[in-house]
Structure formats: structure tokens, C-alpha cells
Structure 1
Amino acid sequence: MGKFVDTVPQFRYRSPFWQNFISGLTTAFTAGIYVALNLLGAGGGQPNSAQVSTRLNACLNSIWVLSSALGSVVLHTIGPGITACLGVGGYIIYVGGLWYLSETGKAAFPYFSAVCIGISAGLVFVTNGYIMLSYPEEKEKGLYVTTGFGLLAGGEMIGGIIPLLISRNNDSSGGVPNAVYIAFIVIMGLTAIAALFILPPNKIKRDDGSGVAAVKYRGLLVELKSNLMDLCDKRLLIMIPCFLPAEAYLVYLGSVNAFHNNLRTRCLLSFMSVVLQIPFSIILQKIFDHNGYKRRTRAKLGLAYVSIPLTAAWIWEMVRVRNYDRHSPPTPMDWTDDGFAAIFVLFMINWIASTLWQYVVMYFLGTLTNDPIKSSHYTGGFRACLAAGESVLFGLDSLKIPYIKEAGIIFAFYLAGICIYMYMAFFVVEETKYFQEENVVVPIHILGETGNVDAVDGIEIKESTTPEKMDVGVDTKTV
């Protein structure tokens, strides 16, 4: 049996793992807090708050589609550190907009803040995604994805524990306290500073001395053309149904949570869901990085681990909400009420499985390429489709369609995604992408003393004078 990749690399600021860690912090304390705010119903407190807040989310996600699709162009033009820092700034403005909406009910500044975060979200996630996919070795893809999303969950935990502590004795259904907004803005300000420490791939070195990639700035027009070409990759296009529901669950669970539960119960559910998400994500990482299995086997096992509870949870969810009337809200449920245990279990399963779906998406994307430029383009395409799906769901939710229809739409896309990934796991995933692409630096230990790759059948290295980036070719045999 093979061994799991379960060791955290020794701290080195310029190592790919710790650069991925810093990048993960930028999503943790931006998107993580954004998730917490949505689950809590932030921006509430005024008669029109719920409707305006939903429209704000639809607006920001519409802009997020474009910023994600083109974010890699910005990334390769001004560098990952500045790109991520600018991205964090938009989140700060958005939190301020929700706070302003909560206090005044006026929507002009909140709509402006929605535009800002729509642009910023693409910048933050494209930066994070390209590091997550292209910096690790192939045997570490699961580790980097789990670390990135684990930090995001940590941000969600902090975003959940702060209002939980503040509101623990508040059984009302009111809005989010001002202290929560202040704490979040301070945290995001510190995160913007941390983002400046993210380095470009040319300055990153692995523990064996090899680099990560040889990426050179090619000009804005070339970057734009390259981005558009990669977005038309057939392998990426068939994954669009997998991308669309990837964050739709946030819209749905946030809406149902606010509809059905009081404030402190919403706080508890949002906090516990991300706490429990972390150990389950570690198990998924063990599956994805188990070097005793072939890559296709790992892909199949990881997909099964997520898709089985995901399917069960959404079927249960449709059964639960079949009689909910959105125009006649119930008395808000408290965590001391009868029936809360079942609500708690379902929310946990639904949240964990739906969140892990994004881990699956990123892992399958990581099997397509090791090239940082392509990785950033693929990540941008994924985030653009994710944002489009989330935007549509926010729009539908603002129309107050029955919850069973909303859940049914999300479930249908998940089913389509499961089928697509089954096909990819059987027929598309390759054992390795080394030696098949430009800009990719091969780790020295992979090359071996003889110049042949022992761990990957069917690959033969040609003569070269540079151990870090060999002039390589791929044998005609399938790898």
C-alpha cells in the first residue's frame, strides 16, 4: 500500500506550500467572512433590507463572472501580490456597504460596494486558484487544495464565532450587531497587508532547489488571447455543469437559514458547519494524495466520497421544504426547540458535501495542467461559471420561488456534474502532465539520477544541460 502525503513542509517563506498558505489567508478573511455574512443575513435591520441584500448579491455575482474570466490577465500583468491586495480592498468596501444598509436602509452606497466586491472576488480567487493548482507537485495536489479550502473554512469559522459570541444570549431574529462589522473590517485590513507578501512563481523554490515555473510577462494582448483560447478548451467546456452549482448552496442555505431560524441558531449552524467541514476535507485529501492508487482511482474514490452524501442530502432537503410557504414565514426556530436536531444534521451534511464539491472541482482541474498560466485561466473559467450560477440563484431567490424548486434546480446540476466527473475519471484523467507543457519546471527528484522517470511509465527524458527544466518528450505510449 502507498503512503498518504500528510506532512506539512518546513516553513520557508519562498516555498510553494507556504505561498499557497499566504494566498489561502486572503480567501479565508475575505470570501470566508462573506460566506458568514450571507449565512447570518447581514445588511438586515431595515424593512427593505432582505430584498436589497439579495439584489446586491445578484449584482456582485454578475460582475464576478467577468472579473473571474479576465482576472488572470490582471494577475500576469501586475503580479499575484498586488492583484490579491486589490481584491481584498473590494471586500472591505462591501462589508462597509452592508453595515451602511443595516443602519440607514439606503441602497446607493451598497450597490457601489457590490460592484467593488464583484471585481475584487475575481482577483482574489484567480490568484488563489492558480497558486493552488500550479505550485504543487502532482502528488501534492490534494494537499494544496485542502490547505487552501481549509483556510477558507477557518475564515468562515472566525466569521461565525465572532457573531455567535456576541449574539449567544440574543434569541431575536434581528440583524447583525455593529461590532461584527467593525471586527470584520479590521481583519480584512490586516489581510490586505498580508497579500503583498505573495510572490510570483519565478521567485519560488521547492525544497529540492528546483523552481516552480518559468513564467515571463508576454504583453497584455498576448495574455488576453491566451486566456480566451484556454477558456475554449473542450475539457473545460464539458465541466461547465459541474461549475455552475459550486456555490449555489450558499444562496439556498443562507436563505432557508434566515427564513426558518432565529439569529443565534443561524450563528450556531453557520459556525458548526465549517468546523465539521475541516476533518471531512482532510479525509478527502488523504484519498486524493494516496500514492498507492493510480490517479484515476483516486479521482473515482474522491468523487464517490463526496457525491453519495451530496445526493442524499439534497433529496432529504427537497423532502423537508416541500411544504414551506415563503410568503408565510414560521416562528423562527431556536436551538432549544423540538425538531432542531434533524435540522442540524441535515444542514451539516448538506453544507459539508456541497463545500467538498469545490475540492473535487479543483482536483479535476489540477489533473488537466501543471502550467501556471493555464491554471490561472482554468481557475478563472471555473470561478466565472460559479459566479454565474450563484448570480442566477440569487435572482431566483429574490423572486421567492418555492424552496423545493430552488433545491431541485441545484440538485439537477449536481447530478449532471457527477455524471461528467465519472466520465472524466474513467476516460480523461491522465497519470501525469509533466513533460507535456511549457513553463513547467520539473522537480529535480522526479528526474532521478539516470535521467529517467521511475515513477511514471511511458515517459523518457531527452538530453539536457539544465536539471531543473529538462528538454523532455513524451513517449507515444499512454501515460
Structure 2
Amino acid sequence: MGFEGGYNSPLVQVGLIGLVCFCCPGMFNALSGMGGGGQVDPTASNNASTALYTTFAIFGILGGGIYNILGPRLTLLSACSTYVLYAGSFLYYNHHKHQAFAITAGAILGVGAGLLWAGQGAIMTSYPPPNRKGTYISIFWSIFNMGGVIGGLIPFALNYHRSEAASVNDATYIGFMVFMSAGTLLSLAILPPSKVVRDDGTRCTNIQYSNVSTEVVEIARLFMNWKMLLIVPAAWSSNFFYTYQFNNVNGVMFNLRTRGLNNVFYWGAQMLGSIGIGYIMDFSFKSRRTRGFFGIGLVAAVSTAIWAGGLANQLGYSRNHKPDKLDFKDSGADFAGPFVLYFGFGLLDAMFQSTVYWVIGALANDSETLSRYVGFYKGVQSAGAAVAWQVDTHNVSFLTQLILNWVLTTVSYPLLVVLVLLAVKNEGEEKEITKGMEVTPASVKEVA
């Protein structure tokens, strides 16, 4: 099946939401990836992140319903603007060292992020043709994570000669705000699902609107949905490891300019990981279930190897005995091992999350259902992240954090296998799902 290229095509719309996420959460990831939000003392960033992921947990779950009611443009426009405020709060903190603004902005961003990611997830999983969801997920993930790559270059270039004792400069935060503002405006280009038409003539949904009572009932049912309950460990763990990786590997082991460089490769690794796993999930075997089993098994194997490498690295330092800061130019061979590990963490993150998104996308095809499923996933994910940031704030040992991350991700793999076994249909059975969603040539012209 080829890719169609009209403005109302899935390819263009997934590309556009990728660009929106390039500018907003992509830059946010680069900001967070520096460790401590670019500050010498990570306390303000940890507390802001806790506030962020607490509200994100609530509005991630509610986000699918809100998206179904408001549609993509209003939902995404309001959501993206909260990213600009968050970056601005750290610009303020650079001068005044008051946490309150950063924490408040974090809580507001949690609301916006919940809405953005529920909408993004619905677009990424429901717009593509059923047998190309892995490919479209990898397209989105690559565009989105290019934001982290470019975002990593900003602090690297602007803080190249700054001392380790300094926080990043004002220009770094202003650069992030410029990109985030552009993404906010770009969100207006996203079409509602009823106007997106695949090249085989099917729509992404045949429902034009939703309402509050419907969404309240459907969201409540998610907590009794066995499919969603099997997703919970994967969802919880999928942002839990960021705190350890950003603060306690990148933030502890490397100096300021090297952290920015590391993030270029961390998010670049995400692009490679998403492309690789996307190909496997769409093309490796004829049977979709077999592709799912193989993909989950491969990610589990890669995960075990990378976390084992992380354990070997972690045994060399602790919270009470931190290592000398590594520099990409001056540290020689000592730099290589931790750098490759951090690159591996990025690779695994993309493979892990792309696999989970593929599984969720294989559970349904309509935008309404998938927006709720992805919202649930993001809500649980964010609850896990909120806990993780406080775990670090309360000075839990680095080794304990690593073991927690390793166990949580490992537990999720067999549950995903069960979900694929019991709930994912092969392509031959898929035709019954999409039956009745065809559109006429006339209606295609109306929205082109």
C-alpha cells in the first residue's frame, strides 16, 4: 500500500502532528534531558515535574474525552501554549530562584500535555491504514524526536564555554520558547478525524462529534477494561525511567556542555529505534499477531541487555560518591562507555513506547476509542512519572532506582504478549472492523 499525499491524508496529518510535537514536547524533552531543567540544583525541576505529571495523570485520562468533544484544533492550540509558559518559568527562575512559578507552570503544563498526547495518540493510531500503523508510528516518532535532537543542540551551542557551576543561560530558554510558540500556531493545521480519508476510501471515524455524558461513561469504563489493565505496567514504567536517566546518569556523570551533546544522540537514537521497530511491526511476518510477538520479544531482549549495562555502570558510583564530571573532549576512553549507555537508553525508550502504541493501535481503528485508550495510557504513564520525580527528590539511591526501572519494564512484556494473543486481530479479520467506514468520491472531494 502506498502513501497518499493530499492535505487530508493520514500521512500529511501524522506528519503535521509530528511537527507540532517536534516544537513542543520535543523541546520540553531537550529541556528535561539536561538534568534539573538546566539548573545546577535539580530541586525546582523535580518539584515542577511532580506537579506536571500529577495533573498530567488526571488530564491524560480525561484528555481523550475532551479531544472527542472539542476536536483537534481547539484542544491542541490550548495544550501547546502551556509548553511556552513552562519554558518561560525557568527563564524567570534563572533570575529570581523562586520555585512557585515553575511549580505552577508545571501543573498547568500537565493539563496541556494530557490534552496534547491524547489527541496525538488518537491521530497517530487511528489515521493510518490498519496494516501500516507501525510505519506511521515510526514516522511520527522520528519527526517528534528530531525536536529533541535540535533541542539538544541549543544548550550545547549556547553553553559551550560556561562553567559547570552555572545554570544554562537565558538564550537557551528563549530558544525553546520560540520553537514552542511555532508549534502552538502549527496545531491549527490539524484536521478533525471525520475529514481525514485514507487512500482505500475509508475514514478514520464515521462519528462527527461527542458529548460530555458519553465521554464520562466511556472513560469510567476504561478502569474495568481488561485490555487497559494489561497495559498498566507498561504505561507506568514508560516515563518512570526518565528521572533516573536524565538526572542520575546524564545529570550526574557529564558536565554542562556534554549533557547537551548527549541529548542530541539520545533523541537521535530514538529515531533509529522507532524506525527499526516500526518496520518489524509492519513487515517482518505475514501474521500481525506473529509480528506483535516477535516485536515484543525483541524489545524485551534489548531491554535486558541495556539495563544490565546500566547496572554495570551504576556499580561504579552512588549518590554519596558521585563521579568526576565527564567531558566529551577531555575524558577520552572514560567517556565512551557511559555515552553508549545513554544512547542505548534512548534507543530502548523509542522501541518500548512504539511497541506499546502499536499494540494499542491494533486494538481498534476508530479515533474515538483510540483517543480514550491513549489517554488512559498517558494518564497512567504520567502517574508513574510523578512518583519517579519524588523518588529522586527524596534521595532514594541510584541503584534502587535502576532496579525499580528494570523490574517494571520487564514485568510489562509478558502482559503485552497476552494482550496481543487475546485481543489483536490478524489482517483477514480486520476487514470486519473497517466495514461500513467507506466514503464516496463526492465526500472525499468535499474535504480535500
TM-score (ref. length: structure 2): 0.92
Gaps of 5+ in 2: none
Gaps of 5+ in 1: 445-465, 469-479
Q: 1:196 aligns with which of 179, 185, 188?
A: 188
1:22-421 aligned at under 5 Å gives the runs: 22-41=16-35, 43-45=37-39, 49-170=41-162, 172-256=164-248, 257-290=250-283, 292-335=285-328, 336-337=330-331, 338-421=333-416
Aligned-residue offset at 1:410: 0.8
Aligned mates of 1:351, 1:138 — CA distance in 2: 27
Aligned mates of 2:409, 2:278 — CA distance in 1: 21
Aligned mates of 1:197, 1:90 — CA distance in 2: 18
Cα distance, 1:439–1:23 mapped onto 2, change above 3 Å: farther
Contact 2:63–2:115 (8 Å) recurs in 1: yes
1:415-430 aligned at under 5 Å gives the runs: 415-430=410-425
Contact 1:251–1:393 (8 Å) recurs in 2: yes
Aligned-residue offset at 1:229: 1.6
Aligned-residue offset at 1:209: 3.8
Aligned-residue offset at 1:44: 4.8
Aligned mates of 2:294, 2:103 — CA distance in 1: 43
**Counterpart in the other structure of 2:437:** 441
SS of equivalent to 1:329: coil
Aligned length: 440
Aligned mates of 1:282, 1:369 — CA distance in 2: 22
1:244-263 Cα offsets, whole Å, 9 max, x none, are 11112221111121112101
Aligned mates of 2:32, 2:140 — CA distance in 1: 21
Choose 1 or 2 for highest CA Rg: 1
Aligned-residue offset at 1:442: 4.8
Aligned mates of 1:310, 1:173 — CA distance in 2: 34
Aligned-residue offset at 1:157: 0.8
1:36-94 Cα offsets, whole Å, 9 max, x none, are 11111354557xx4212111101110110001000112111111111011110111110
Cα distance, 1:467–1:94 mapped onto 2, change above 3 Å: closer
Contact 1:215–1:439 (8 Å) recurs in 2: no
Aligned mates of 2:240, 2:38 — CA distance in 1: 21
Identity %: 25
Letter in 1 for 2:232: I
TM-score (ref. length: structure 1): 0.87
SS of equivalent to 1:98: helix
Aligned mates of 2:380, 2:191 — CA distance in 1: 27
Which structure: greater helix fraction? 2
2:14 aligned with 1:20: yes
SS of equivalent to 1:339: helix
Contact 1:322–1:403 (8 Å) recurs in 2: no
Aligned CA RMSD, in angstroms, stands at: 2.3
1:229-284 Cα offsets, whole Å, 9 max, x none, are 23431111112011111112221111121112101111111111222332332221
Cα distance, 1:45–1:364 mapped onto 2, change above 3 Å: closer
Aligned-residue offset at 1:220: 1.1
Aligned-residue offset at 1:414: 0.8
1:158-216 Cα offsets, whole Å, 9 max, x none, are 11112222233445352112111111111111111110111111111223444221113
Letter in 1 for 2:10: P
